[in-house]
Amino acid sequence: MYEMISIESSLFMRSFLPDSLTFKTLGAGFAALLLLGCQATDAKKAQPVTPDFGANVIILDPGMSPDAIQNKLDSLFKQQEANQFGPERYAVLFKPGVYHNKVKLGFYTQLLGLGQFPDDVMLQGGIQVEARWHEEDATQNFWRSVENLSVTPDNGTMQWAVSQAAPLRRIHVRGNMLLDDNGGWSSGGFIADSLIDQQINSGTQQQWLTRNSTVGSWTNANWNMVFVGVKNAPDGEHWPTPPYTVVEKTPLVREKPFLTIDSTGAYQVFVPALHTDTQGISWQQAHVAGETLPLSQFYIAKAAVDTADSINTALNSGKHLLLTPGIYTLNKPLQVTQPNTVVLGLGIATLKPVAGNVALSIADVDGVKLGGVLFDAGEKNSDVLLQIGDHKGTVSHANNPTTLHDVFFRVGGAAVGNATHSVIINSNHVIGDNLWVWRGDHGNGIGWAINKTKHGIVVNGDDVTMYGLFVEHFHDYQTVWNGDNGAVYFYQSEAPYDVPDQQSWMNGSVNGFASYKVGDQVTRHKAVGMGVYCFFNDNPSVKLNSAIEAPVSDQIQFQRMTSVSLGGTGEITHLFNNLGDAAKPGNEVVRMRAAP
């Protein structure tokens, strides 16, 4: 008779004992040792096992050597600092505790605290994003993020010189913040659900959205600074001097789900509840409303091994989806058909269709949450990269809307990409929270006839709300809004840079296509804090007739609009319909308080 008893990695054999020998006849000490071994085995079984997130998820523990942590972080930054279109993706997870480290953050890197609250993870050294790799010009500092931790900057100021697709969420800055690099241009950006103890200096930032945060104070402005549900927001009564647009409360929002661990070390995803009429951070209470989902309910996908089929099998079985860092090449759509499904990306996880297919489709169901994902168009044209709802329907999702958080789109830049539309929203009551929809204007696979598109985003659903909508460089209307009762809080857009000549960009007899087009059938719409720019650098004689086009009605309201001819390179002749002065050389910035 041979029986093995495991105590961690040690093996105990009973084979050397006579069959008649029992615990009663064993020596007390040896019996106690065996009993202790069994208890240790049980205790070991009770300890949660760290999930296999793959090699590109770096998990840090405060018990590690600060020097070892710093070496990891510095090595990662060195690799990613200028890696704008590289394939590497990383997530750095901080277990609760205090870290005496300073983090410099490069491309495709997410920092995520694993505590229940931001102050559970404390970086005593700070976080820094600068643009030395690009001559202090931060207009290309994209694709990175920080969530759910607190920062004590070593010099008192956290530098976050970024542009689009670089969100800060659920952070506590114990000091000041600076949003540029030594006066070089920056074109951001987004902060939500965050506490900044002292002053935010936006520096040269062209535009910025701050939502549901508490700030000590704010200084500086450029073209379009919008504050929604922010405590201690600056005074917006004197717009446009300075151009601060202030909305006192956020009408309806759900904060982004995030990965966390409990007191036993078990990994979970917390899904915040839906909130109405809010101001300030969501985590000031001891108990934050929401749902905790054990990670056992998630399929943990890895780009190196998973296919559309394997991921769809998991989704169809009722699993949520955690996309670990990487680029997922898809020859068919990922299909979310179950209500309340959570699809959460780590480390700017990227979905890339390669067969002219949709990358991700979400059925017309309640409560899907999609966050932290970059859609990158493949060379073979896709009609759409993300589709929500198969067609315009009548189903109400008012009590449990689908929400999109830090969802980004790219057509060209890393390589040739083609997509007629980046995102189409057919479902009703969808909430978007920081979307950057970008036809590449630099990098690889770039050109008027190379990275071909039509629209960036088309909204057919009713009662759709967007907080922070950035849409840039598409060939036709950038944004088409056909649904009724839509609302946008902060919009930033640039016309395509690379129009070869006016004849190539005509909407019938009209010069160019408006950035923001509200359908003629729409009866109710609201948009606050709008910025539309042009930079026709291939042919500065090109003109755009109107930045915004919409039906004229008392129920269609546009407030605080700005058009800019960047460096006087081209012209936007009118701001709204055929109203407003031209933004052009010598008169580069034009504003309108309200329309119609």
Cα→Cα distances 123→153, 172, 358, 547, Å = 8, 10, 40, 43
Q: Which amino acid is at 60?
A: L
Task: Please list, in sequence order, all residues whose beta carbon lies within 8 angstroms of the beta carbon of residue 369, skipping any fewer than 6 positions away.
Answer: 254, 256, 257, 271, 340, 341, 342, 343, 344, 402, 403, 405
Q: What is the Cα–Cα distance from 153 to 123, expressed in whole angstroms?
A: 8
Element (H, E) at 38: helix 28-46
Strands 453-459, 419-425: pairing kind: parallel
43-47 long-range Cβ contacts below 8 angstroms, 24+ apart: 44/8, 47/264, 47/265
The residues that are catalytic are 494
Cβ atoms of residues 405 and 371 within 8 Å: yes
Q: What is the Cα–Cα distance from 30 to 3, expressed in whole angstroms?
A: 17
Cβ atoms of residues 186 and 206 within 8 Å: yes
Whose tokens are 């049980």? That residue is 42
DSSP 334-346: EEE-STT-EEEEE
Q: What is the Cα–Cα distance from 376 to 594, expressed in whole angstroms?
A: 36
| Rounded (5°) CA angle 174-180-186 | 135
Cβ atoms of residues 83 and 112 within 8 Å: no
What is the DSSP-derived secondary structure letter of residue 119? G
Element (H, E) at 150: strand 144-153
Strands 207-211, 224-228: pairing kind: parallel
Task: Please list, in sequence order, all residues whose beta carbon lies within 8 angstroms of the beta carbon of residue 235, skipping any fewer than 6 positions away.
Answer: 244, 246
Cβ atoms of residues 426 and 461 within 8 Å: yes
Q: What is the Cα–Cα distance from 298 to 569, expressed in whole angstroms?
A: 49
Give residue 475's Cα distance to chain centre. 24
Cβ atoms of residues 115 and 140 within 8 Å: no
Q: Can you tell me whether residue 77 is helix, strand or coil?
A: helix
